[in-house]
Structure 1
């Protein structure tokens, strides 16, 4: 019974950290849209901004997961970043019904998300 409660708690930690990551993502994308509107940013700057949003959001989510876990923080941050990527892919599939990016782009995005979460967990 005690192990079941522990697993539920860990799942809740990860879900809370993911929710925080997506709230941060929404806020940062809103800021990026405002900057795009005001400063007439080019495509390269917007792409760099989106990558920065991925990294910052997973870093914050990893920090939250690490703070809640208190042990194996890097692992919980990594799990949070990987789940962020999976949810990102599922949302993309739901909206566009296809994955247009190349394999290299997908792997790079996964590494950024998982790495950001892991680093966040490590510094928490």
Structure 2
């Protein structure tokens, strides 16, 4: 019984961290959309900002999961970043029915997401 409670708690940790990361993503993407409208940013700037949003969002989610876990925080942060990236890929596949970009860009985004989650969990 106690193991089930602990397992449920760990799933809740991940869900809380992912929810935090996606709320931060939504807020930052909204701010980026307003900046794009006002400042007429070019494609390179928007692409760099989206990459920064991935890292900042997983950093925030990593901080949340690191505070909840308290042990093996870097592993929990990696797991959170991987989950964030996986959901991002699934949403992209659901909307566009294909992945745009090559394997190197996908791998870089995965590493950035996992690194952001790990860094957030370690500084928590």
Q: Same fold (TM over 0.5)?
A: yes
Runs of 4+ in 1 over 4 A off after TM superposition: none
Match for residue 47 of structure 1?
A: 47
Q: Deviations over 1:15-74 (max 9, x none)?
A: 011001000000000000000110111111100100010000000000100001111111
Post-superposition shift, 1:113? 0.2
Gaps of 5+ in 2: none
Match of 2:22 in 1: 22
The 3-state SS of whatever aligns with 2:98 is coil
TM-score between both structures, scaled by the size of structure 2: 0.98
Residue 104 of structure 1 deviates from its aligned partner by: 0.2
Counterparts of 2:87 and 2:114, CA distance in 1: 12
Contiguous gaps of at least 5 residues in structure 1: none
State the SS of the aligned residue for 1:98. Answer: coil
Q: Show the 5 A alignment for 1:30-41.
A: 30-41=30-41
1:5 counterpart residue number? 5
Structure 1 residue 3: deviation in Å? 1.0
Q: TM-score of the superposition, structure 1-length normalised?
A: 0.98
RMSD after superposition: 0.5
